[in-house]
Amino acid sequence: GFSPAEISGNVTVTATNGKTISSGSDSIFTVKNGGTLTLNENVTLETSSQGKSCINVEEGGTLILNGATIQATSEYNVSGITITHGTLTINTGNITRLTGSLIVATDSTITITGGTISSNSSNLSLTNCQADISGLTVTSNTTSSNGGGINISGSGTYTFNNCTITSNTASVRGGTPRY
């Protein structure tokens, strides 16, 4: 079977003519303690692995998106990024068509300076994070829980500047701190 690539050093994935990396049975990448994974433009991650994330970032790991796309190829419960006690930087990129959690960040440092999160059946979930978010567009997402676009829980520090958060739907409730 397919095993996720384990990143323990510095790895950069770049494609000039577009490259799709996919998995139907497991996560695509696991970023380990001390590892940094950078995904640049023209790189698309697709998964149809039910109950799995495209990328898992473990304690002490770092993920940087510089224009990459994360998407699902099925209607199963497929997630984008799961990060606990790690660092996530999104300079630009797209997260779309996911039916599981888009980004689940717990006790992590999040910096977003651009990108689009759209047309998903879930939300961006931040718990006890330090987050500085600007230039992000969150639109046309739907969830059966709290916060159609973004759900913030626990403590932490959250700063939003020049973001567009529109047309998101939550079955339970939206509003501050749920967008």
- Report yes or no on whether pTM surpasses 0.95: no
Is pLDDT of 176 > 50? no
pLDDT of residue 2: 53
Mean pLDDT of 138-159: 89
Whether pLDDT at 1 is above 60: no
pLDDT in tens, 37-84: 999 999 988 876 677 788 999 999 999 999 999 987 766 677 889 999
Average pLDDT over residues 74-99: 88
- CA nearest 44: which of 70, 12, 17? 70
Q: Which two tokens stand for residue 55?
A: 């990328």
pLDDT value of residue 107 = 98
Q: Is the torsion defined by CA of 162, 54, 124, 167 positive or negative? A: positive
22 band by pLDDT with thresholds 50, 70 and 90: confident
- Which residue in this structure is represented by tokens 């799709």? 20
Gyration radius of the chain's alpha carbons: 15
Q: What mean pLDDT is predicted for residues 143-151?
A: 84
Band the pLDDT of 177: cuts 50, 70, 90: low
Q: Could you tell me the two tokens for 114?
A: 């651009």
As a whole number of angstroms, the longest Cα–Cα distance in the chain is 44
